[in-house]
Structure 1
Amino acid sequence: MPAEAWTLGLGAVAAAMVGFSKTGVPGTGILVIPLMAALFGGRLSVGATLPLLILGDVLAVALYRQHAQWARLRTLAPWRPLGLLLGSGLLKLLGDLRLKADPLSPMIGVLVLVMLALNLLRGRLGQRLVPHSREGTVVTGALAGFTTMVSNAAGPIMSIFLNSSGLPKDQLMGTTAWTFLLLNLAKVPFLALLTADNPQEPLYTLATLRFDLLMVPLVLAGAWAGRALQRRLPEQAFSGALLSLAAVSAVLLIVRH
Structure 2
Amino acid sequence: MAELMTPLTAVFAVIGLIIGFSKTSVGGLAAIAVAIAALAMPAKESTAAILAVLIAGDLVAVRLFGRHVDWSLLRSLIPAVVPGLVLGTLFLAVVSDEVLRRSIGVMLLVLVGLQLWLGRRRRTRPPRTGSEPEAEGGGPSRADHPLTSWITGTAAGFTTMTANAAGAVMTLLFVAKGVEKARFIGSFAWFFLGVNLAKVPFSVGLGLMSWIDVWRAVLVFPVVVLGGFAGRALVRRMAQHQFEIAVLLGSAVAAVALVVG
Matches of 2:175 and 2:241, distance apart in 1 = 7
| One-letter amino acid matched to 1:209 | V
The one-character-per-residue Cα deviations of 1:16-49 (angstroms, maximum 9, x if unpaired) are 1111111222221111012112222211111111
Q: 1:248 to 1:16 in 2, by over 3 A?
A: closer
- Please show how residues 171-210 of structure 1 align to structure 2 within 5 Å: 171-195=183-207, 203-210=208-215
Q: Any conservation in 2 of the 1:22–1:60 contact (CA below 8 Å)? A: yes
The one-character-per-residue Cα deviations of 1:160-199 (angstroms, maximum 9, x if unpaired) are 221221111101111111110111011011111111xxxx
| One-letter amino acid matched to 2:222 | P
Report how far residue 58 of structure 1 moved. Answer: 1.2
Unaligned runs of 5+ in 1: 196-202
| One-letter amino acid matched to 1:229 | L
TM-score of the pair, normalised by structure 2 = 0.80
Q: 1:188 to 1:8 in 2, by over 3 A?
A: closer
Q: 1:83 to 1:120 in 2, by over 3 A?
A: farther
Q: Any conservation in 1 of the 2:36–2:254 contact (CA below 8 Å)? A: no
Alignment-derived partner of residue 231 in structure 1: 236
Matches of 1:211 and 1:35, distance apart in 2 = 16
| One-letter amino acid matched to 1:193 | G
Higher RCO, Cα 8 Å, sep 6+: 2
Matches of 2:108 and 2:83, distance apart in 1 = 20
| One-letter amino acid matched to 1:71 | S
The one-character-per-residue Cα deviations of 1:221-245 (angstroms, maximum 9, x if unpaired) are 1112112222323xxx224533653
Unaligned runs of 5+ in 2: 127-134
Alignment of 1:249 with 2:251, yes or no, is: yes
Report how far residue 129 of structure 1 moved. Answer: 9.8
TM-score of the pair, normalised by structure 1 = 0.81
> Larger deviation: 212-221 or 45-54?
212-221
Percent of counterpart pairs with the same letter? Answer: 32
Matches of 2:216 and 2:79, distance apart in 1 = 34
Alignment-derived partner of residue 220 in structure 2: 215
Report how far residue 216 of structure 1 moved. Answer: 1.4
Q: 1:179 to 1:242 in 2, by over 3 A?
A: farther
- Please show how residues 22-171 of structure 1 align to structure 2 within 5 Å: 22-94=23-95, 98-101=96-99, 102-113=101-112, 115-116=114-115, 117=117, 120-121=120-121, 133-171=145-183
SS of corresponding position for 1:78: helix
Matches of 1:137 and 1:119, distance apart in 2 = 20
The one-character-per-residue Cα deviations of 1:47-80 (angstroms, maximum 9, x if unpaired) are 1111111111111112212211111111212211
Matches of 1:244 and 1:71, distance apart in 2 = 30
Matches of 1:36 and 1:99, distance apart in 2 = 13
> Larger deviation: 18-27 or 207-216?
207-216
Alignment-derived partner of residue 198 in structure 1: none
SS of corresponding position for 1:75: coil
Q: Any conservation in 1 of the 2:15–2:33 contact (CA below 8 Å)? A: yes
SS of corresponding position for 1:167: coil
Pairwise CA RMSD? 2.7
Q: 1:219 to 1:243 in 2, by over 3 A?
A: same
SS of corresponding position for 2:209: coil
